[in-house]
Chains A and B, each alone.
Chain A
Amino acid sequence: GAGVSQSPRYKVAKRGQDVALRCDPISGHVSLFWYQQALGQGPEFLTYFQNEAQLDKSGLPSDRFFAERPEGSVSTLKIQRTQQEDSAVYLCASSLDGRASEQFFGPGTRLTVL
């Protein structure tokens, strides 16, 4: 069965470049979450979608971070003018309805900014 997939799995960017990270959630899952995980830390919440609506973006660290889910399925996390501190693993998760239910995580995209 298809789980959550993310692409690319690894991305190396030069400082100042823009990057786009893709997440394909489990089919039929209403809720989609993005998390950022720095080395040695637990994942930290970035943003949440319910279908195509972005209901919470309180975790986005700066206005260089932008996420969308235009058709309520695939989501893209875009980081503009990347900085070294953006280097992390970006995890996407989906859940059936988001109401206090379990989340299914993708493998993550490891972003390294040089």
Chain B
Amino acid sequence: SQQGEEDPQALSIQEGENATMNCSYKTSINNLQWYRQNSGRGLVHLILIRSNEREKHSGRLRVTLDTSKKSSSLLITASRAADTASYFCAPIEDSGYSTLTFGKGTMLLVSP
């Protein structure tokens, strides 16, 4: 499977602000998944967007996918201190099974 590249590497915002992070990948995908990792809850799946979808929402999360640009973005609205974590994207190619290949992630710090 291919690795996603998250950007920026680090992001620092105040509570209540929105946070946007981006992911780029290289080859065609079946779907793209976003994960969050913090010390409290470990690595947790956030959202999966399929290659035929352009936008998906889950609570305060909004994910977009542009397959022509091979990129995805994750928007967190009205951020909270509890959103402080590292965020990873994992592009999944067409295959019989899917291992996740993570980049270094975006480290988000939300200050009260």
Asked if chains A and B come from one complex, the reply is yes
A residues with CB within 8 A of B: 31, 33, 35, 40-45, 48, 50, 55-56, 59, 91, 93, 98-108
Of the candidate stretches B12-20, B64-72, B74-82, B99-107, the one touching chain A is: B99-107
A42 and B104 form a contact (CB under 8 A): yes
B43 and A45 form a contact (CB under 8 A): no
Question: Residue on B with the closest CB to A91?
Answer: B43
Complex Cα distance A110/B101, Å? 20
> Which chain B positions have C-beta within 8 A of A107?
42
Task: Name 25 A/B residue pairs within 8 A (Cβ), A-sorted.
Answer: A31-B97, A33-B100, A41-B104, A42-B88, A42-B102, A42-B105, A43-B43, A45-B99, A48-B99, A55-B97, A56-B97, A91-B42, A93-B100, A98-B97, A100-B92, A100-B97, A100-B98, A101-B48, A101-B98, A103-B45, A103-B100, A104-B45, A105-B44, A107-B42, A108-B43
Question: Residue on A with the closest CB to B30?
Answer: A100
Question: In the complex, how many angstroms separate the beta carbon of A42 from the nearest chain B beta carbon?
Answer: 3
Interface contact tally, CB-CB below 8 A:
59
B97 and A106 form a contact (CB under 8 A): no
Question: In the complex, how many angstroms separate the beta carbon of A32 from the nearest chain B beta carbon?
Answer: 11
Name B31-59 residues within 8 Å CB distance of A: 31, 33, 42-45, 48
B residues with CB within 8 A of A: 1, 30-31, 33, 42-45, 48, 88, 92, 94-105
> Which chain B positions have C-beta within 8 A of A44?
101-102
B95 and A105 form a contact (CB under 8 A): no
Complex Cα distance A59/B102, Å? 13
Q: A55, A59, A103, A104: which has the most chain B beta carbons within 10 Å?
A: A103
